[in-house]
Structure formats: C-alpha cells, structure tokens
Structure 1
Amino acid sequence: MDSNGKEVATEIRPYIRVYKDGSVQRLVESPIVPPSASDPETGVSSKDIVISQNPPISARIYLSKQSLQQHQKVAVLVYFHGGAFCSGSAFSFVETKFMNRLVCLANVVAVSIEYRLAPEHLLPIAYEDCWAALQWVVSHSNRYCGSDKEPWICNYVDFDQVYVGGDSAGANIANNILLRAGSEGLQNGVKIKGAFLTHPYFWGFKPIGSEIKDVKQREKLVMSTMWHLVYPKVAGGIDNPMINPVVEGAPSLTGLGCSRLLVSVAKKDQVRDRGISYYNAVKESGWQGELELIDVEGEGHSFHILVHHSENAEKLIQRLASFLVSCAGHGRKSFQFSSCVSRI
C-alpha cells in the first residue's frame, strides 16, 4: 500500500510503479512540450503527425531551416526514443531538445516515433509500432503525395538516404528493425543506408566484462527486472535474442539491413560491455557494411539526452550528425555546435 492507498504490484525504482488495479505511475518523466514552427535555439521546425489511428501511432517530425529555405531533398532519420520500453516520449522536453540539435547539425528530416509503452502494452507491441512507422515513412517513396501523405516527407526526403537510430531501448528497437529489414525488406524496395545505436539496452543471463557475476544480484538489476516487466512471457527470458542479440541461436548479424552502422557506448554505463560485445559480434559476423564504435569517457547512460547541455553531450551529438552527413555521401564535416545553438 502506498501513500495513495493503492496496493503496489511491482515497483522498479526510480522508474516505475505498477498497482494491482492495473494503473501505472511513471516516477521519472521529462515534461511534454509542444512542437515549434521555429525553435528559438536552432531554427528547426517541428510538428506532430498521426501515422496510424489503429493501432495508435504518432510522431514528431523535424525539418531544418536550411532544407525549408532551399527546398532541397535530404536524408530522413526515423528515430526511436529510449526509456526501457516503459517510459519516455517523442514529445518530451529532453527528446525534443536533442532532436532539434541533431537535425540542425545534420540537415536531415527526422521522424521521432511515439510508440506504445509497456506494461499497458507489453512487448512486442513497441517493436511492431516502430516497424509500422518505418514502413509508413518509406511508403512515401512511391511519388504519390495525396491527402493521406505527409508533405514534409513527400517534398523534402531523398529515399536513397534512409537512416534509423535510437538510444537505450530505442537502440534495441533499431537493432531489431535492422534485422527485420534485412530479412523482409521495406516497401517499394527502399534500403536503409545507415543506422546508429546509442547506449543500446542489451542484456543477458551470463555476465560479461565487468558486469556483476552473482546470479541473484544480477536478477535484481534494473536491466533484468525491467525486461521481465515489459516482456514477461517471452521465450528465453533475459536471453531472448531481442534483448541478447549475441546469444547462441540468435539470428545472424550478417543480416543487418543497412550499409553503415555506428555503435556508441559510455564508460560509466552498466550496459557498456553489452554494446561493445554487440559491436564485436557484428564485426566478426561477416556483415559487409562499415562499422564504427564510439566509447565516451566519464559519462553514463544516455547522458547526451539527459544532460544535454554538457560539453560531452554536444560532442556526441556532433559525432552523430557527422555520421549522418558522411553516410549521405557529402564527406565528413566538422561542425561547430554554436552554429545550431544560440548562447544567451
């Protein structure tokens, strides 16, 4: 029984509390903010769109001032936010701040997906929502732009430059999207050119690297308890390939459906060793694309979003933007963060 007089069924601090009546309290959430016709810091335009009524999937779409002024076709980034599958939002302050800065630096159209959250909507619903959203974005490549289409995608996107990305649970989603795209393909034959996975939420039963070795202690870690909450009946539990992509019997990473991949980890992040293990597994799998790893000293999980004003956050966002620009075939570009953020 908590202070509200309701019986608690499950609590994973400091993230979520689930009550026996089925209601959910998310304990740490960034406030929801509206889109902007022109962000005061970056000049990036954004608006909220409906992708599907049934199932209910929406998104916040971003367009750089440069694209808007020059009416040029640019890359599109389909982005999946983090939050352990049970929190976070494409409409939150921290995600909007991050996307505005990334879009300004990389000069891309970005579509940040608002997928349904667990435990109200248990996995694999988030995976299915994000797959449907990506297919909806690439469906615009058929050159027909009727009333059911989004004009920013029709008018500004070069479908030879489609990218996906995500942080934490969103990076996990991105990996599973890449595998599905590699095996099933996307609408109209569109290919994913590049992808970045930032601090991916991967885990497994057996410890690796510097992870805690004691089995009972590992079961109490948030990486384990959260997965059991959001996908309670999945085969293999914490060793299901969707959370442990390098477990024996997992789909081969040679099938990743993109030609360039960037994996980012952080030294103080509890899932760092999993990200490095994933990077090494891709490298050793025979996958034919270009692979890159970023390992940031002195920082923790999703610091570039949660501590967005820090110097290291700015540097990582610059690296992600540089990856998108170089993927697009424009060569590597040196960015000045101040060009996209007004200092007051």
Structure 2
Amino acid sequence: MASSTGTNGDKVIVHNLLPHIAVYSDGTIDRPRNLPIVPPQEEDPVTGVSSKDIVFSNDPYLTARLFLPKLTQTNDQNQKLTILVYFHGGGFTFESAYAIHHHAYCNLLASQANAVVATIEHRKAPEYYLPTAYNDCWAGLCWVASHATQNPINSDPWITNHGDFNRIFIGGDSSGGNISLNVAMRAGVEALPGGVKLLGTYANHPYIWGAKPMGKEPVIGFEETLQSRIWKFAYPSAPGGLDNPMLNPMASGAPSLATLGGSRLLITAAGKDHLLFRDRTERYYEALKESGWKGEVEFFEEKDEDHVYYMFDPNTENAKRLYKVVVDFLRR
C-alpha cells in the first residue's frame, strides 16, 4: 500500500488513496473530499425538521445526530413515528454524519418518510481501522433499541416519546450501504435490547467488492483499483482480504444470506456505476433471493446515473425518483 509518488512540502505520501484520503510520513492526514460540517437546527426552514446532536456512548465516545419531523397530531407528545438508524458513506475513511449533504439528506428523509432519524458518527480509518465502524454502527442501533427497555442508557426523549419500536429500519449509502447490510446480518443472529426486531434495511449503491473482477470491472490492474485499495487500507487485518464476507457477502465460506435480519430489504444501483459496484449489487439481490431468505427484497436501478448521484443534487428528477423509492419503502 505504501507510496511515495507525491509530496506535500517535505512530507512524503505513504498512503495515496486520493481523492479520498492521503496519509503522510509525518502522520498527518488529508481528506480533500470532506464536505463542510453544519450544525443541527431548531427547525430547518425548508422541511420543518428539527435536529440535535447527542452522545449515546461514553466508552467509547460515540455521537449521533437526531432528526425529528414536524409533528402533525393534535396530541404531539404521543405521536409515534418510524425509526431510521442511518449510516453515512465515505469509503470507511472520510466524511461525517454532520456534513452538509448528509444533513440535508436526513432532513429530507425525516420529513418525507415522517420518521425519527438517528445518523451515527462512526469512527474512521486509519485512526480506527475496521471493524470499528461496524461495531460503532451496531452500538448505535442497540442504543436506539434500548429505548424500548425500562432503563435505557443516555436516553433521548425524541426516541422515547415518538419512536415506534415495531418499525425500526437501518439504511446507508455506498460504504454506509455496506455497513447497513452487515449490521442487518448481525441483527439476524444477535438479539437487540428489549426484544426489538429490525423491520427492514435499505442499501443504496452499497460498497460490495471481491478478490476477482466480475461484470464490467477491470481485469487488468484489478488489485490496484481504488475500490480494492480502500478496503485493504481501511481493514488491513481483514480475514480473507478482498473476499472477507463483510466486503464480499457472496464469497466462499461467507455466512448464508438467509440469516439476514429483518423481513424487508431495498437495494438500489446506478447503471453507470460499473467501475464501482453496480454489477455486484444486482448479484447480491439475486443471491439473497436464491438463499432461502424469508423476507421481501426490492431492487431499483436508475440506468443513466452514476454512484450516489442523488446525494449531491437532490433536486433532479432522477434524484427525486430515488428518494421516493426509499421513502415509500420506509412508509409501507
């Protein structure tokens, strides 16, 4: 992985995964694609959604941003809403739950799906290698579910008063989509607090990869694609390397997809995402149907778009269509 192909002053780049991340010989890290962090809002002027930041774990120190849509019932204090625990993208190495585009995305989902949203600020590589992010996001889901118990730790009234614990979803985009699929697998074999059951999961353009190319992925230089190098950088000790089941859930020896938690799954793809994850996303959909999983799975593809197109311009017709697919999934 080490590289000395670029410098920053006298500093040598020792890990070059630009444009996502660069690590220098003095230990400093650049994340040039990080978008600006924005504060929570008492009320978003466009959607009417309220947001706030909370600490849900002190050891380790973990935070989340909560979103509450404008309540519509006369007795607002008792209105129960769908719960979405959301995992942001960024190749496990950059971006934040508090970035401007993720904040706007969660505002829209909270408003249109009429859901309480908890977006988890998971830790990132290389400061914290995988599987840390998976464990942080599982901890976030467990914290939300713990509100269904008598004595939740670090409880929050938005979840206690308005969360419908029969309607808990998880979801994510890109690497966050990968995390959501893996957290759903864990929820299929490990109990959540309070006997809470995961209802469904969505994964938009999930980061699914493997040790050998498939579909239209490049055969020559496959090991040096950014997708391959990001995983080896973010999880250097991964058993099985690029065929670790968390990256390649169809790998030989991976747990059966029939154990996926929840009863509903939405998985989406972009037709121009061939150099990233489009073909593997469809293969996952097919493999889940073939596995004997008892749930209901949907596949949606926008053929003329590229990876996470909707995240950066939510006002295009194609982006609005994707949002509607996700919102309809959460509202059913």
Establish whether TM, by shorter chain, passes 0.5: yes
Residue 268 (structure 2) aligns with: 264
Q: 2:314 aligns with which of 301, 308, 312?
A: 308
Q: Is the 8 A contact 1:45 1:64 kept in 2?
A: yes
Once the two structures are TM-superposed, the CA of residue 63 in structure 1 deviates from its matched residue by 0.5
Q: Give matches, 1:327-338, under 5 Å.
A: none
Separation of aligned partners in 1, 2:39 and 2:72? 21
SS of the equivalent of 2:124 reads: coil
> Structure 1 79/68 Cα, relative in aligned 2: closer, same or farther at 3 Å?
farther
Q: 1:205 aligns with which of 211, 216, 223?
A: 211
Residue 58 (structure 1) aligns with: 63
> Structure 1 234/67 Cα, relative in aligned 2: closer, same or farther at 3 Å?
farther
Separation of aligned partners in 2, 1:67 and 1:78? 22
Once the two structures are TM-superposed, the CA of residue 307 in structure 1 deviates from its matched residue by 2.5
Q: 2:35 aligns with which of 24, 30, 33?
A: 30
Q: Give matches, 1:131-142, under 5 Å.
A: 131-142=138-149
1:92 is the counterpart of 2:99: yes
1:197-240 C-alpha deviation (Å, 9 max, x unpaired): 100001011221221122xx111211101001100121111111
Once the two structures are TM-superposed, the CA of residue 7 in structure 1 deviates from its matched residue by 1.8
User: Residue type of the partner of 1:121?
Assistant: Y
Q: Is the 8 A contact 1:62 1:111 kept in 2?
A: yes
Report how many aligned residue pairs link the two structures.
323
SS of the equivalent of 1:38 reads: coil
Once the two structures are TM-superposed, the CA of residue 20 in structure 1 deviates from its matched residue by 1.9
Residue 229 (structure 1) aligns with: 233
Q: Give matches, 1:235-246, under 5 Å.
A: 235-246=239-250
Separation of aligned partners in 2, 1:246 and 1:306? 30
Q: Give matches, 1:59-208, under 5 Å.
A: 59-66=64-71, 70-71=76-77, 72-144=79-151, 148-208=154-214
Q: Is the 8 A contact 2:149 2:193 kept in 1?
A: no
Farther-moved stretch of structure 1 (204-213 vs 93-102): 204-213
SS of the equivalent of 2:112 reads: helix
Separation of aligned partners in 1, 2:258 and 2:161? 34
Separation of aligned partners in 1, 2:59 and 2:209? 32
Residue 337 (structure 1) aligns with: none
User: Residue type of the partner of 1:101?
Assistant: L
Separation of aligned partners in 2, 1:68 and 1:232? 50
Residue 224 (structure 2) aligns with: 220
CA RMSD in angstroms comes to: 1.4
Q: 2:19 aligns with which of 4, 11, 14?
A: 14
If asked which structure has higher relative contact order (CA below 8 Å, sep 6+), I would say 1
> Structure 1 199/82 Cα, relative in aligned 2: closer, same or farther at 3 Å?
same
Separation of aligned partners in 1, 2:9 and 2:137? 35
Residue 10 (structure 2) aligns with: 5
Residue 3 (structure 2) aligns with: none
Q: Is the 8 A contact 2:212 2:222 kept in 1?
A: no
User: Residue type of the partner of 1:209?
Assistant: G
- Listed as ranges, the gaps of 5+ residues in structure 2 are 1-5
1:127-183 C-alpha deviation (Å, 9 max, x unpaired): 11111111111000014468x311100000010010000001111111111111111
Separation of aligned partners in 2, 1:3 and 1:67? 54
After TM superposition, the runs of 4+ consecutive aligned structure 1 residues lying more than 3 A away are 67-71, 143-146
What is the TM-score of this pair, normalised by structure 1? 0.91
Percent of aligned positions that are identical: 46
Q: 2:47 aligns with which of 37, 42, 50?
A: 42
1:281 is the counterpart of 2:310: no
Separation of aligned partners in 2, 1:68 and 1:226? 46
Separation of aligned partners in 2, 1:248 and 1:27? 36
User: Residue type of the partner of 2:55?
Assistant: V
SS of the equivalent of 2:178 reads: helix
Residue 259 (structure 2) aligns with: 255
Separation of aligned partners in 1, 2:272 and 2:23? 29
Separation of aligned partners in 2, 1:247 and 1:292? 22
Residue 319 (structure 1) aligns with: 325
